[in-house]
Amino acid sequence: MRSFRALLALLLLWPALPAFAQPADVNYDEAKVPKYVLPDPLRFSDGRPVKTAQQWRQRRLEILRLFETWMHGRCPAPKVRLRAQPPEVERNALGGQAVRKQVVIPFSNDPAGPRMHLLIYLPAKASRPVPMFLGLNFRGNHAVHADPGIWLGEIWVQDQKTKTWKKQKADHTTRGAAASRWPVEKILARGYGLATAYYGDIEPDFDGGMRYGVRPLFFRPGQREPAPDEWGAIGAWAWGLSRALDYLETDREIDARRVAVIGHSRLGKTALWAAAQDTRFAMAISNDSGEGGAAITRRRFGEQIHHINARFPHWFCLNYRKFDHREDDLPVDAHMLIALIAPRPVYVASAEEDRWADPRGEFLALVHAAPVYRLLGRPVPDLREMPPANKPVMDTLGYHIRTGKHDITAWDWEQYLAFADRHFKRAGR
Ligand code: GCU
């Protein structure tokens, strides 16, 4: 009985509780953000200026190497195309509004090895290949929509008592549990398809989860952990997104040249890194990605490098730990991550109450990436001032800060759909 009361109290209190205990040394005072100098994306490491698009292409490779070496680690180039199993197709899904496809993409020949389950919805009435949103999900494909046809897959869960993780069949009561984050019908009605996969299929998200994911498949004989400049979990998830795109390229009902990669929070960090490396992604959308995503690291506001490395030591490469408390020494910063995606469109979104992710820092990354877009002849919106809440600005770069909490909402999606319309539905396409 007592434990029942405690549970009830916890449930009532739940919305008021912070997502986790905030570290004591976190700064939320704008006046205490120290001065910093950002590395110039338009200057080579040896100091030469970058003045032409041709020079930018070389500088881009230099910046990409820096991110690989110090932050995300190198991902292996896919040596072989993975062989997906034939998809299961339902042409009359969601009451006739959608074509639903589900496909298993094994990452190795080992039947017990990791494999990705890709869920695809396409508008049923499309007369030509459709543009897509592609993003990983946190809780399993079955949580994205209540559609009973979605396979009930296996997900990773932590035992609250022992703190150990195990993989188990998802509970059917969690069907549609994350549906507020995936407005499937609206996406379809606007003429887009949606593809998503559970991120734990690629690598489960906990320290030590690496051995159940794809990274060991690429170890050299005898290797037990990644070298200091080899990929972390975010690198693995980003690699998984590229493998999903490989699959989308094989589907004639999909226009793989118009795929927007999207992600929320840690998966927003992942979406940016995926688009930075893989130029086949036509657009990137980062929702509340924060530290290690769109937020300028040198601004000491909200989460910092040492916080993230302490709580999520598996996300970045081992070299990244050298920059705990030393953000000024990092050879890159978030504006360069966005610049790597240029000239392709990038949308960054923040939420007012999500101070941990540093909304201003997320905005400033766009401001400081803009010179690269201008050099490449792409129009950028007026970024002199941070726009007021709920007033998006968009051109080749897009930004909004929404009222409310750390989340991805239907309103956020409205803006992403408008942004995609702007770039994917121009005359002649
Ligand atoms: C934590 C982490 C953030 C991350 C977020 C999320 O808050 O510190 O860096 O973005 O989790 O993925 O939800």
- pLDDT per residue over 247-304, tens digit each? 999 999 999 999 999 999 999 999 999 999 999 999 999 999 999 999 999 999 999 9
Q: How confident is the model at residue 363 (pLDDT cuts 50, 70, 90)?
A: very high
Mutation pick for ligand 1 pocket among 303, 354, 407 (CB with most ligand atoms within 8 Å): 303
Mean pLDDT of 55-81: 92
Residue 305 in contact with ligand 1 by CB distance below 6 A: no
Token reading at 327: 């953000």
Ligand 1 and 265: CB distance under 6 A: yes
- The pLDDT mean for the chain works out to 94
Distance CA 37, CA 337 (A): 16
Nearest to 299 by CA among 21, 38, 39: 38
Residue 390's pLDDT band (cuts 50, 70, 90):
very high
| Contact 303 CB / ligand 1 (< 6 Å) | yes
Could you state, in order of their start, the residue ranges of all structural domains in the chain? 2-427
Region 240-245: what's the mean pLDDT?
97
Q: Is residue 331 classed exposed, middle or buried when 0-12, 13-18 and 19+ CB atoms within 10 A define those classes?
A: middle
306 is catalytic: no
- The atom of ligand 1 lying closest to the CA of 289 is 10
Q: Which atom of ligand 1 is nearest to the CA of 288?
A: 10
Q: What is the CATH number of domain 2-427?
A: 3.40.50.1820
Ligand 1 neighbourhood includes 268 CB (under 6 angstroms) = no
Establish whether the linkage from the previous residue to 343 is cis, with ω within 30° of 0. yes
Task: Look at residue 12 in the predicted model and tell me its pLDDT.
Answer: 43
CB of 290 shorter than 6 A to ligand 1: yes
For tokens 């939420």, what's the residue?
351
The residue-averaged pLDDT of 161-188 equals 97
Mean pLDDT score, 53-70:
98
Distance 295 CA to ligand 1 centre (A): 12
Pick the catalytic residue from 242, 265, 286, 350: 265
Taking residues 69-85, report their average pLDDT.
85
Residue 232 and residue 249: Cα distance in Å, rounded? 26
Residues in the chain: 429
- How many CB atoms sit inside 10 A of residue 48's CB? 11
Q: Averaged over 52-81, what is the pLDDT?
A: 92
**How far is residue 136 CA from its own chain's centroid?**
7
Whether pTM exceeds 0.75: yes
CA distances from 349 to 74, 141, 338 (A): 27, 24, 13
Is it the case that residue 14 has pLDDT exceeding 50?
no
Cα(146) to ligand 1 centroid in Å equals 26
Q: Does 180 qualify as catalytic in the annotation?
A: no
Least confident of 47-61, 256-270, 413-427: 413-427
Give tens-digit pLDDT for 100-135: 999 999 999 898 999 999 999 999 989 999 999 999
266 CA → ligand 1 middle, Å: 6
- Ligand 1, residue 267: give the atom nearest the CA: 12
pLDDT at 22: 85
Q: CB of 297 closer than 6 A to ligand 1?
A: no
Q: What are phi and psi of 252, to 5 degrees?
A: -70, -15
Which of 207, 286, 311, 356 best tests ligand 1's pocket when mutated (most atoms within 8 Å of CB)? 356
pLDDT for 2: 46
pLDDT value at position 80? Answer: 64
Nearest ligand 1 atom to alpha carbon 292: 9
The residue whose CB lies within 8 Å of the most ligand 1 atoms, and thus the one to mutate among 266, 272, 287, is 266
Q: Which atom of ligand 1 is nearest to the CA of 307?
A: 8
